[in-house]
Amino acid sequence: MTVPSDAPPFPTRLRQTAIAVLAVLLGAFVFYTSFNGPFESLVQRALFVMTISALAVLMHPLFEGSRWRPLGMFIDAAIVAVVTVSGCYIIGNYQDIMTDLPWATGWDKLMGFGTLLCVLELARRTSNWVFPLIVLISVGYAFFGYLIPGQFGHRGFDTGYLTEIIFLSDRGLWGMLVNVASTTLAAFVLFGAILLHTGAGETFFDLSARLGGSRPGGAAKIATFASGFFGAINGSTVANVATTGNFTIPLMKRLKYPPAYAGAVEAIASTGGQLAPPIMGTAAFVMAELVGLNYWSIALAGVVPALLFYLGIYSTVHVIALRQGFRPVTDDTLPDWRGAMSFARLAPIVAGLLGLSFGVINGNSVELTACYGMIAMLIAVLVARISKGEDPRAVLGIILRALEAGGKGVVIVGILLVGAQVFVAMINLTGFGVAVTAAVLSVGQGQLWLIAGLMAVVCLIAGMGLPTSAAYVMVAAVFAPALIQQGIDPLVVHMFVLYYAALSVITPPVCLGVFVAATIAQAPWMKVAGQTLRLGATAYALPMLFIAYPGMLGGGGAERIARAVISGAVFVLSTAHLLGGARLPWGAVSRLLWVLPAILALMSPWWATLGGALLFGALVLSSRKINLSHETGETQPA
């Protein structure tokens, strides 16, 4: 067999083959355990950690392309060996670990801390140095906390006891978050991979183009819809910006959108995808464990906030489009409705939803429910291909590619959650979260909104530089108790924390989503960040509305839910018109009138909410009487 001249060298081809095989095996493992149920807890988790560690090493080799690569290969092999030996040791002794509370030996200490360092090195490669540094600090705090005076000090713990927590129990490297990653989270990542590989990705984009492209500012609306669709099953703001942004940002620039504005639209829209059900940046599954609620309750609670988030973005870009004269996308460049809505394109999506619905109605576990959805999608795509006269054997290729993508997709979040579980264990062991809660309550002096404001700022800072799931776990473990002690429902508090943790990815100075968008847009990142904050201002206010109106998350009866939805919609729309610069016929200063319905929406009486809605409607009618700049065909900087 002749190798093409432009083919990569043999070692690279071998590594790519190994990645594909191992990813398919991991995807098959996820599918098997979703359908038949997981293995014994420590066995399931150890197998998962061993596999994702090997994949992470192959996907992110150390010193690749440099003269130090031989050293990198040695270190990579050592990491795989250490994690594999440790995992096999846990599997072989899981019964003793769970029943006899073993005493840590020197060998246990070596394996425990060696495995932890290996996992943190892989976390550094897959994300950045911020996360592993935080975990190391938490472990160091457990060792040396006795040296710290005052309420943040503690008695300290020796190496043996920490080894028993981190390695020889289900509280550290093999803890609850790892269980979530290896079961429910992995199942939905695989579900999303199958969904995309059955053609849903193209369908989502075509639907986004048809839904938003023909309206003023159509390119920005395409970005909003597409990023929402992809983000809901993607799980990463940065990955969402990198994928959808490579199409939507150049499209906006071709239509004369300012580069910084084009990047900002994509950055904020991709961030919203991390807060949209069903995956919610993979944090929904973790939240279900931390709050003690069914996953479906978490997903349902996230629906209204996600809709309000995107209502705010859509309304802001619409107002800006009218004011600046951003034209619709021409009809000849939009996809045909008939193609987007064809049986072959829609069948896998509809079948997947029906499969999920069957699992929910039948009362099955989340993993088995996701498995039903996967099976239904594969059957649908098989039927669709046969009906079109295509070779049904091509479905096997779809299955293999989907298993590979699903296996790769779970690696990063899996590695991060292993490290995050160690962080949570250290926080609980040392009582650091209790000390932080006491400090926040002392500063807040019982003032709920002051405490909430402090928590919001701290969550934004603490989550910077971290993926959504890791950021959420970090801030929830440390800061959530401060608000819960104020009598707020734990679900409201955790959703509050999740939103600010997710928004940290677009909050300067460490705003990874903005950096990626700015690179694609070829614009200064500070300008992109400024525009992103403007477009996302309503998103920063939304978590405060959770506290004011818990019905926004489905709590309370129909009246409380209706009140929360109406108040939230009035607030979001009014703020969007204010920030978008919607004009009113009484001079430039009159634009401040948009603040009034937003304020009324925040007041407690029903009459204030209805008054805000009526006032907003009156202002919209007045605004429409203005000759908007889009009618002149002039396009100005946004």
**CA 503 to CA 492: how far, in whole Å?**
17
DSSP-based three-state secondary structure for 63: coil
DSSP-based three-state secondary structure for 199: helix
Lowest mean pLDDT among 156-170, 307-321, 616-630: 616-630
**pLDDT tens string 215-249:** 788 888 988 988 888 878 776 788 888 888 888 89
**pLDDT tens string 30-73:** 999 999 999 999 999 999 999 999 999 999 999 888 889 899 99
pLDDT value of residue 65: 81
**CA 430 to CA 151: how far, in whole Å?**
11
Q: Tokens 């695989």 map to which residue?
A: 190
pLDDT value of residue 474: 84
CB 594 within 8 A of CB 582: yes
Whether residue 509 has a cis bond before it, omega within 30° of 0: yes
Backbone angles phi, psi at 346, to 5 degrees: -90, -25
pLDDT value of residue 391: 77
**DSSP category for residue 293:** -
**pLDDT tens string 153-184:** 888 899 999 999 999 998 899 998 899 889 98
pLDDT of 606 > 70? The answer is yes
CB 557 within 8 A of CB 591: no
**pLDDT tens string 418-460:** 998 999 899 989 988 888 888 888 887 778 888 888 888 888 8
Task: Between 570 and 151, name the one with better pLDDT.
Answer: 570
**pLDDT tens string 390-413:** 777 777 888 888 889 888 888 988
**DSSP category for residue 200:** I
**Mean pLDDT, rounded, of the chain:** 86
Mean pLDDT within 512-523: 90
**CA 345 to CA 332: how far, in whole Å?**
21
Which of 473, 493, 466 is closest to 176 using CA atoms?
Answer: 473
pLDDT of 325 > 50? The answer is yes
pLDDT of 632 > 80? The answer is no
CB 233 within 8 A of CB 279: yes
Mean pLDDT within 76-94: 95
What residues have CB less than 8 Å from 119, skipping those under 6 apart?
49, 53, 83, 173, 415, 418, 419, 422
* Distances from the Cα of 403 to the Cα of 188, 197, 372, 374, 375, angstroms: 12, 10, 15, 11, 13
CB 382 within 8 A of CB 199: no
Whether residue 38 has a cis bond before it, omega within 30° of 0: no
Q: Which amino acid is at 547?
A: I
**Residues 600/601/602/604 CA torsion (nearest 10 deg):** 80
**CA 280 to CA 637: how far, in whole Å?**
33
pLDDT of 542 > 60? The answer is yes
Altogether, the residues listed in the chain come to a count of 638
pLDDT value of residue 339: 66
Neighbours of 522 (CB within 10 A): 13
pLDDT of 628 > 60? The answer is no
pLDDT of 5 > 60? The answer is no
pLDDT of 203 > 60? The answer is yes
Cα angle at 50 between 399 and 127, to 5 degrees?
Answer: 85
pLDDT value of residue 42: 93
**pLDDT tens string 580-601:** 888 888 877 777 899 999 999 8
363 Cα distance to chain centroid = 26
pLDDT value of residue 241: 87
Q: Tokens 């007041």 map to which residue?
A: 603
DSSP-based three-state secondary structure for 280: coil
pLDDT value of residue 360: 85
DSSP-based three-state secondary structure for 361: helix
Which of 304, 297, 272 is closest to 468 using CA atoms?
Answer: 272
